[in-house]
Amino acid sequence: MILNTIIVIFTFFFMEFVAWFAHKYVMHGFLWFLHKDHHQVDHNKKFQKNDYFFLIFAIPSILCFVYGAENYSYLFFIGIGIVLYGLAYFIIHEIIIHRRLPPPSKTKNKYIIAIRKAHKIHHKNRNKEHCINFGMLIVPRKYFK
């Protein structure tokens, strides 16, 4: 039980580094054609091509559930960690940062404010080159000031 909990927690935090790498080298790399409309938003469209990344990133979690469910192997718990990170990503990125759904009330939470600042700087450049701040949960200290 404890080992399974550790696997879920470790996977959740490891996913921040996977997301950073994928954002910097995949989304701002060879799959820019899917991510571009996230930086160059057409406000008349409800969905973006960028939303397909939800499906792309769900595949490893689904596979972990399928192959780990038979005997609740470590793969099952890795799948849970990935799903929890995906849920956190959805809440933070889509609701709190981009406000694609009605956001919760305004906050004075320094962490949330820092996340929004860092992401705003990331989107300041509308092209794939010269962007910074590719992570979601780990925010450089300078954005807390």
Query: What are the pLDDT digits (tens) for 98-122?
Result: 787 776 777 888 988 898 888 888 8
| Closest to 134 measured CA to CA, from 93, 86, 75, 83 | 93
Q: What is the pTM of this model?
A: 0.87
* Amino acid (1-letter code) at residue 76: F
Alpha carbon of 80 to those of 16, 51, 56: distances in Å?
A: 15, 21, 16
Phi, psi of 13 (to 5 degrees): -70, -35
Q: Report which of residues 14 and 135 the model is more confident about.
A: 14
Quote the tokens at residue 141.
């200290």
Answer whether residue 46 shows pLDDT above 90: no
Q: Which residues contact 24 (CB under 8 A, 6 or more apart)?
A: 134
